[in-house]
């Protein structure tokens, strides 16, 4: 952490809102991108990104400087998004149960789905949707490391600091995540051939 960032952190700890706004200025886009990658919904991502920034400001007195401020902030963002996804998944299950119970009255509750547009009939859109579904099939910890490594391009050390684990664990999770994702892809469709090549290349550079 450089001197300028350290000073901004100190001012933020004392309650200086302007200093905190300066501190997060260069990180807001990445915070939003992490939220977007995890939720796949721009509105949810925007709200969760704001929640993460608010939580960072209210918790900044706990920041000890053991890692960079950005790493600490991204960790908060991931935690906020993970909590949201767990609550959402629980809500979906409840809605499904309620919908099934309502069948006796012929008024089953419907779970909202995105209406496919004409362009989604194209191979590229199908590929994107299938990849998203495959990512959703991974565990939270595997999905997180792929987002941080392959989509956000964070280093192993940055990921380790963000998730509060060692680099060996990060590399192991990434390898298992890529293997798991590849297996899901192979099982589901042949449309992923190009992405499989990409995974193989990245796996070889790990």
pLDDT of residue 105: 44
* Domains of the chain, residue spans: 1-106, 116-206
pTM of the predicted model as reported, rounded to 2 decimal places: 0.59
CATH topology of domain 116-206: Arc Repressor Mutant, subunit A (1.10.10)
Residues 78-108 pLDDT 10s: 989 888 888 766 544 343 344 444 444 444 3
Residue 7 CA to residue 53 CA, distance in Å, equals 18
Q: What is the pLDDT of residue 194?
A: 58
Task: State the pLDDT at residue 96.
Answer: 37
CA 130 from centroid of its chain's CA atoms: 17
- Determine whether domain 1-106 maps to CATH 3.20.20.70: no
Residues of the chain with pLDDT under 70: 1, 88-130, 188-206
């Amino acid at each position: 952490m450089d001197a300028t960032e350290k000073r901004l952190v100190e001012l933020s700890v004392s309650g200086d809102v302007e200093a905190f706004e300066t501190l997060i200025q260069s990180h807001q886009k990445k915070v939003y991108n992490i939220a977007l990658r995890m939720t796949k919904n721009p509105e949810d991502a925007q709200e969760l990104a704001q929640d993460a920034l608010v939580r960072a400001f209210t918790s900044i007195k706990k920041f000890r400087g053991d890692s960079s401020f950005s790493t600490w902030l991204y960790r908060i963002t991931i935690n906020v998004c993970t909590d949201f996804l767990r609550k959402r998944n629980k809500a979906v299950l409840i809605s499904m149960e309620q919908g099934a119970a309502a069948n006796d009255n012929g008024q089953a509750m419907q779970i909202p789905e995105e209406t496919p547009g004409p362009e989604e009939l194209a191979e590229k859109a199908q590929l994107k949707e299938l990849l998203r579904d495959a990512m959703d099939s991974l565990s939270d910890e595997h999905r997180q490391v792929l987002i941080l490594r392959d989509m956000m391009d964070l280093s192993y050390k940055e990921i380790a600091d963000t998730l509060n684990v060692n680099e060996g664990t990060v590399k192991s999770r990434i390898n298992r995540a890529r293997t798991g994702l590849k297996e899901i892809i192979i099982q589901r469709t042949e449309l992923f051939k190009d992405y499989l090549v990409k995974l193989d290349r990245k796996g070889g550079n790990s």
